[in-house]
Amino acid sequence: MAITTLNIPIERAEVSKIEQVDFDNLSFGSVFTDHMLVCDYKDGQWEPPKIIPYQAISLEPSAKIFHYGQSIFEGMKAYKDSEGQVWLFRPLDNFKRLNISANRMAIPELPEEYFMEGLKTLVKLDAQWIPQKEGSSLYVRPFVFASGKGFHASPADEYKFLICLAPSGSYFSGKVKVLIEEKYSRAANGGVGYAKAGGNYAGQFYPTQLAIRKGYNQVIWTDDHAHEFIEEAGAMNIFVRIGDTLITAPTSDRILDGITRKSVLDIARDEGIPVEVRKISVSEVVEAAKNGSLKEMFGAGTAAVISPIAGFGFKEVDYELPEIEDSYASRLKKRITDIQFNRSEDKFGWRYKV
Ligand X SMILES: Cc1ncc(COP(=O)(O)O)c(C=O)c1O
Give me the residues that bind ligand X (CB under 6 A), please. 75, 196, 232, 235-237, 256, 258-261, 301-302
# of chain residues touching a second copy (CB under 8 A): 73
Return the number of the residue (51 or 303) whose C-beta is nearest ligand X. Answer: 303
Query: Taking CB under 8 A as the rule, does residue 206 contact a second copy?
Result: yes
Q: Is 70 in the site for a second copy (CB under 8 A)?
A: yes
* Nearby residues of 20 by Cβ (< 8 Å), 6 or more positions away: none
Buried-exposed string 200-222: b where 16+ CB fall within 10 A, e elsewhere: beebbeebbeebeeeebbbbbbb
Q: Which of residues 117-156 bind a second copy (CB under 8 A)?
A: 139, 141, 143, 145-146, 149-155
Choose between 125 and 264: whose C-beta lies nearer to ligand X. 264
Question: Is 125 or 162 the residue whose CB approaches ligand X more closely?
Answer: 162
CB of 301 to ligand X, least distance (A): 3
Q: Stretches 70-78, 110-118, 129-137, 343-351: which one binds a second copy (CB under 8 A)?
A: 70-78
67 binds a second copy (CB under 8 A): yes
Strand runs labelled E in 71-194: 71-73, 76-80, 86-89, 137-146, 159-168, 176-180
Contacts of a second copy in 162-201 (CB under 8 A): 162, 164, 166, 168, 171, 181, 183-192, 197-201
Nearest CA-CA partner of 129 in 207, 217, 54, 44: 54
Cβ at position 41, least distance to ligand X in Å: 23
CB of 39 to a second copy, least distance (A): 13
Rounded to 10 degrees, what is the CA torsion of 200, 203, 205, 209?
Answer: -140
Query: What kind and span of H or E run contains 198?
Result: helix 198-213
- What is the separation of C-alpha 211 from the centre of its chain, rounded to a whole number of angstroms? 21
Told to check if 115 binds a second copy by CB under 8 A, we report: no
**DSSP 3-state assignment of 244?**
coil
Residues 22-41 that bind a second copy (CB under 8 A): 27-30, 32, 36
| Binding site partner of 302, from a second copy, ligand X, none, Cβ cut-off 5-8 A by kind | ligand X
Chain centroid to Cα 153, Å, comes to: 28
